[in-house]
Amino acid sequence: MKKVFAVMLMAVAFAMPSNAQIKFGVTGGLNMTNVSVKDAAADVSGAVKSRAGFFIGPTVKFTLPIVGLGVDAAAVYDQREGKIGEGDQEKTIKSQSIQIPINLRYGVGLGDLLEVFAFAGPQFGFNVGSNKKFEEIKSEWTLKSANLSANLGVGLTVLSHLQAKFNYNWALGKTGEMEATVDGVKKAVGSAKMNCWQISLAYWF
């Protein structure tokens, strides 16, 4: 997995012009996850409840030689949870992954004092937890080993070091599938996506 991080960050670095400015930092924040379920069994496709999670890890920022334009990337440990179903049938889907967001950003501000920016970009996720999230007598949820999502948000940087961001991250495919054994054959009978609102803080060294 370390090789994956290195390759992703090196790819971004080599794509930057030689006169780009680079800063390293650390970031962390909260996830508020929304689980959307499609075509699943009635006992789990009813109520969907959001749950809080978190993420933390290193980050890097490239300031391009174009006024206001830059790129940032990170490799964070990310934990998300969502509850689906009701009553005795309520179940929790928990995701533990390494997420690698790569965002293009555009900002305006007052030099090193203050910058307000907007950003968007893809995010690559790799499952590092158990992919069996809960089991029933004849069915179970299985999370995908890798997933792709996208970010869109806004942020604020103060004194060139402290940064706050707020964004929405939405899955660009299925996060997991519900499988059931029917007549001795296991097959997919539903799917779920884990989208989330995120708020984060970062410190640039």
The CATH number of residue 120's host domain is 2.40.160.20
Between residues 36 and 138, which one has the greater pLDDT?
Answer: 36
Whether the CB-CB separation of 154 and 168 falls below 8 Å is answered with: no
Query: pLDDT at position 120, please?
Result: 98
Number of other residues whose CB lies within 10 A of the CB of residue 34: 18
Query: pLDDT at position 84, please?
Result: 66
Band (pLDDT 50/70/90 cuts) for residue 174 is confident
Query: For residue 186, is it within any domain?
Result: no
Query: For residue 181, is it within any domain?
Result: no
Query: pLDDT at position 72, please?
Result: 94
Whether the CB-CB separation of 120 and 104 falls below 8 Å is answered with: yes
Global pTM?
A: 0.78
What is the tens place of the pLDDT at every residue in 150-167? Answer: 999 999 999 989 999 999
Domains: count for the chain: 1
Q: How far apart are CA 97 and CA 80, in angstroms?
A: 9
Between residues 134 and 157, which one has the greater pLDDT?
Answer: 157
Query: For residue 74, is it within any domain?
Result: yes
Query: For residue 152, is it within any domain?
Result: yes
Query: pLDDT at position 66, please?
Result: 80
Query: For residue 19, is it within any domain?
Result: yes
What is the tens place of the pLDDT at every residue in 61-113? Answer: 998 878 889 999 999 999 987 776 666 666 677 789 999 999 999 999 887 78
Query: pLDDT at position 81, please?
Result: 79
Query: For residue 27, is it within any domain?
Result: yes
The average confidence (pLDDT) of the chain is 80
Between residues 181 and 173, which one has the greater pLDDT?
Answer: 173
Band (pLDDT 50/70/90 cuts) for residue 168 is very high
Whether the CB-CB separation of 142 and 131 falls below 8 Å is answered with: yes
Whether the CB-CB separation of 73 and 9 falls below 8 Å is answered with: yes
Query: pLDDT at position 20, please?
Result: 65
List residues bridging with 5 in a β-sheet.
none
List residues bridging with 149 in a β-sheet.
123, 171
Whether the CB-CB separation of 94 and 129 falls below 8 Å is answered with: yes
Query: For residue 190, is it within any domain?
Result: no
Q: How far apart are CA 174 and CA 183, in angstroms?
A: 25
Band (pLDDT 50/70/90 cuts) for residue 137 is very low
Query: For residue 140, is it within any domain?
Result: no
The parent domain of residue 14 ranges over: 2-37+48-83+95-130+146-175+199-204
Band (pLDDT 50/70/90 cuts) for residue 45 is very low
Query: pLDDT at position 46, please?
Result: 47
